Structure 1
Amino acid sequence: MGTWDTGPFDNDTAADFCGGLDEAAAGEREGIVREALIRTIGTRGYLDASEAEDAVAAAALIAAQCPGGEPAHPVYGPDEPLPDLTGLRDLALQALDRVMTEPSELMELWAEGDDEPWRATVDRMRGALLAQPPGERLSPA
């Protein structure tokens, strides 16, 4: 696993995912993010680390657009503008739940060491995804 830190963009797979977003036409970027989330949510068996890393990066891009969300990584996040992704918050939450549920290779890999900083990163993303602007409500899962 080409990982160098606990952030959602701190691995080779996430950097490649963001590079793919930059190379895509502007009108295709939301669909790419959505597909990464849906692919992860739909995995019933063993979830490969690369699938999970894509989903975590996608969720982080959505969280970055939510109140209290941390900005995307200035180097490894996408360079090109993204559309409003906040309508994908429910999918992002479901994908993060799947990443954090066995069998998940990414969760297993982090459990081999000190996974608390990584889990804290995921928890912060979840918090931003759950934050709601006044007058807006997430649909029930």
Structure 2
Amino acid sequence: MGTWDIGPFDNDTAADFGGDLDEAALEEREAMIRGVLKRAAGPADFLGVSDGERAVAAAALVVAQHPAGDPACSSYGPSEPLPELPADLRMLAVDALDQVVSDRSELA
């Protein structure tokens, strides 16, 4: 189906990432989110659409836990609880989103 709306989980790749988080053990979920954000934020000549879509979804989960953040409500996001995400993921999420909208991304 591809993309059906503008939310962070409203595309096939991000919805699959939400499902992957649900299937993972609770103690693995933070590492999965961190890995997606690191991949997007890290140095590379090119950031593909799938990596960008997962990064946007992961960043939405990080923001949802910020005291002033909005919940990452979506029928397609993870339904299982997430662990308390460490505050250092906030800057990593910002860095990842910066790369998603940069010239090296297919999403830009």
TM-score interval (norm. to shorter): over 0.9
In 1, the alpha carbon distance for the partners of 2:106 and 2:69 equals 26
Q: In structure 1, give the amino acid aligned to 2:41.
A: I
**Structure 2 unaligned blocks of 5 or more:** none
Tell me what 2:12 maps to.
Answer: 12
In 1, the alpha carbon distance for the partners of 2:67 and 2:26 equals 24
In 1, the alpha carbon distance for the partners of 2:40 and 2:65 equals 21
In 1, the alpha carbon distance for the partners of 2:44 and 2:2 equals 25
Shift of residue 69, structure 1, vs aligned partner: 1.8
Q: Is the 8 A contact 2:9 2:74 kept in 1?
A: no
In 2, the alpha carbon distance for the partners of 1:28 and 1:104 equals 27
Tell me what 1:30 maps to.
Answer: 30
- When the two chains are superposed, the root-mean-square deviation of aligned CA atoms in Å is 1.4
Tell me what 2:71 maps to.
Answer: 71
Larger Rg: 1
Q: In structure 2, give the amino acid aligned to 1:98.
A: Q
Tell me what 2:105 maps to.
Answer: 104
May I ask how many residue pairs the two structures share in their alignment? 107
Q: In structure 2, give the amino acid aligned to 1:75.
A: S
Shift of residue 19, structure 1, vs aligned partner: 0.3
TM-score (norm 1): 0.72
TM-score (norm 2): 0.92
| Higher relative contact order structure (alpha carbons within 8 Å, sequence separation ≥ 6) | 2
Q: Deviations over 1:112-132 (max 9, x none)?
A: xxxxxxxxxxxxxxxxxxxxx
**Structure 1 unaligned blocks of 5 or more:** 108-141
Q: Partner of 2:107: helix, strand, or coil?
A: helix
Shift of residue 43, structure 1, vs aligned partner: 4.1
Q: Is the 8 A contact 1:66 1:86 kept in 2?
A: no
Moved over 3 A (4+): none
- 1:92 paired to 2:90: no
In 2, the alpha carbon distance for the partners of 1:93 and 1:26 equals 24
Shift of residue 86, structure 1, vs aligned partner: 4.3
Tell me what 2:47 maps to.
Answer: 47
